[in-house]
Amino acid sequence: MTRRTWLRAMAGAAIPPARAAHAERPGKTHRVGMLMTTTPEAASHVVTAFAEGMRELGHVEGQNVILEYRWAEGHPERFAEQAADLVREKVDVIVASSQGPALAARRATTTIPIVMVNVTDPVGVGLVASLSRPAGNVTGLSQQLTAEIRAKQLQLLKEALPKISRVVVLRSPATSVGLQEYEAAGQLFGLRLQIMEVRGRDDLERAFSVLTQEHADALVVPADTLLFTERQRVAALARAHRLPGIYALREYTEAGGLMSYSARLTEQFRRAAVYVDRILRGASPATLPVESPSQYELVINLTAARSLGLTIPPSFLLRADQVIE
């Protein structure tokens, strides 16, 4: 089965069909707002995946669909105005690339459909009433970083590096990840967890210097907006300070981080195209169930391991879904 065939099948099967009374009008050019947390360079791969997914479903940029991008460039204070701008532009759908822009879009409109991507807890933050029946104008894909997933990340870190005891969770003020979400899991593996806050791009060097001075053994890096945008620098600083870590998205590992355990972000954006397609054809976001990842992948960067002076056990490497050399 080709990807085109698969996407069309999923568009018609996994999400309830659109009502015929609201079918898409022939020849109409739709406008889709793209509310993005990072920069065009940092998110090029995910917007490419989204555009490919749209094209495979018959929505070709520049022909029958216009993608209106708004780039926050790692500045969450921009979300509100950018969301309001897309509402003024009267786009047909807003795609929100993470929790911050999704919340901003929801505050800006209760009528324009919103497709969220990579949101950790959409019910908990009030974006949807439930995963099975969102009930409002927001639906899409949840990252679902549950307690079990956090525990799995720490378990993998401990198995790869049995001697570690002190682990620091690196975060910026933009992330909702807190120490309590990791402490319970850390206790299971004899790890002491603490938070290190990075206040901005210019604060990264200071943060890593403090981590070295305080003799941190390893890092956990969540899917933080600032850190994702600066992932090349984060990975380079981790190597320079000889700090191994596990990252919340494979993009960090591809940038030179040691390893990651996560769902694949590009597939979430490709799947978001299916949601947009159904909405453009008349489906209501209130009745489109929110999807959670069904697969998580372990990615290990052996080049990073060597630069950190680490030897990853062969038995651990065999468990990886991908090994970068």
Query: Bridge partners of 317?
Result: none
Average predicted confidence (pLDDT) for the chain: 89
Nearest C-alpha neighbor of 195 from the set 164, 167, 153: 167
Residue 27 binned pLDDT confidence (cut-offs 50, 70, 90): low
Contact predicate 30/280, CB 8 Å = yes
Nearest C-alpha neighbor of 50 from the set 250, 267, 284, 319: 267
Cα 70 from Cα 36, distance rounded (Å): 6
Q: Mutual orientation of helices 231-240 and 204-213 as an angle, nearest 10°?
A: 30
pLDDT of residue 16 exceeding 90: no
Average pLDDT score over residue span 200-211: 92
Reported as half-sphere exposure (CB side, CA atoms, 13 A), residue 73 has a value of 0
Nearest C-alpha neighbor of 224 from the set 9, 21, 42: 42
**Alpha carbon separation from 84 to 55, 72, 77, 120, 195 (Å, rounded):** 27, 13, 13, 23, 33
Measured at the CA of 119, the angle between CA 256 and CA 6, to 5 degrees, comes to: 85
Residue 120 binned pLDDT confidence (cut-offs 50, 70, 90): confident
Nearest C-alpha neighbor of 38 from the set 117, 153, 92, 106: 117
Residue 183 binned pLDDT confidence (cut-offs 50, 70, 90): confident
Domains and CATH numbers, the chain: 3-143+265-287 (3.40.50.2300), 147-262+297-324 (3.40.50.2300)
Q: How much is the pTM?
A: 0.84
Predicted local distance difference test score (pLDDT) of residue 208: 94
Least confident of 175-179, 195-199, 231-235, 256-260: 175-179
What pLDDT, in 10s, does the model give residues 69-104? 999 998 889 999 999 999 999 999 999 999 999 999
Tokens read off for 73: 């460039």
Which alpha helices (H) appear in 18-97, and where do they start and end?
44-56, 79-88
| DSSP string for 77-109 | GGHHHHHHHHHHTT-SEEEE-SHHHHHHHHHH-
pLDDT of residue 221 exceeding 60: yes
Residue 143 binned pLDDT confidence (cut-offs 50, 70, 90): confident
